Amino acid sequence: MVDDIMAQAEERMMKAIESLGTNFAAVRTGRANAMVLDRIKVDYYGVPTPINQMAAVKTPDAHMLVIEPWDKSTLSTIEQAIQQSDLGVQPSNDGSVIRLPFPALTEERRRELVKQCKNYTEEARVAVRNARRDANTAIEKLKKDSEISEDDAKRAETESQKLTDSYVAQIEDAFKKKEAEVMEI
């Protein structure tokens, strides 16, 4: 029973780390990265569709993304979706492809992006702590129902804390790497 609780808690903590990685990947760092387009959905025949499912996204150099739709009639809708997003990049449409030039980031913009990363980091920490809290609550319930001894409950809570500490450390490492990447000129 305690093993199941710990496995569930660890699974939730892993999902928090995965979610953090996804959020970090979408943060623009001055280099062109196709993952910044993952959150932008385009209305394709009434269905919100990710750009990478409608077009080939290429990176010809470090500061440019080229979006080549498979259906050329979607060029203008893709362009509009990018303009309406919070990407902060002005697309240029030449009739067959959309070019997204990524200008070098200003110091102020870098600081904003680091702040955004801090928010993602805090969300991940909270998710990990919530998983620990839920695990500890389940352990307490088992102890209260006399299904496990008090010593086993203490051991399980200690294990839960160690698990939490290791995941919070992973989150901190990921944040430090991303912060260095964003602040790098």
| Angstrom distance (rounded) from CA 182 to CA 109 | 10
Which domains can be identified in the chain, with CATH numbers? 2-25+106-183 (1.10.132.20), 34-101 (3.30.1360.40)
Q: Please say whether the beta carbons of 120 and 21 come within 8 A.
A: no
Q: Which residues contact 22 (CB under 8 A, 6 or more apart)?
A: 38
pLDDT in tens, 114-159: 999 999 999 999 999 999 999 999 999 988 888 888 898 899 999 9
Q: What DSSP designation does 1 have?
A: -
Q: Which of 51, 47, 49 is nearest to 35 (CA)?
A: 51
Percent of the residues in the chain that have a pLDDT greater than 90, as a whole number: 36
pLDDT in tens, 69-95: 988 888 888 888 888 887 777 888 888
The DSSP result for 34-68, as a single string, is GGGGTT-EEEETTEEEEGGGTEEEEEEETTEEEEE
Q: What is the mean pLDDT of the chain?
A: 88
Q: Which residue has the tokens 């196709």?
A: 34
Q: Specify the pTM.
A: 0.71
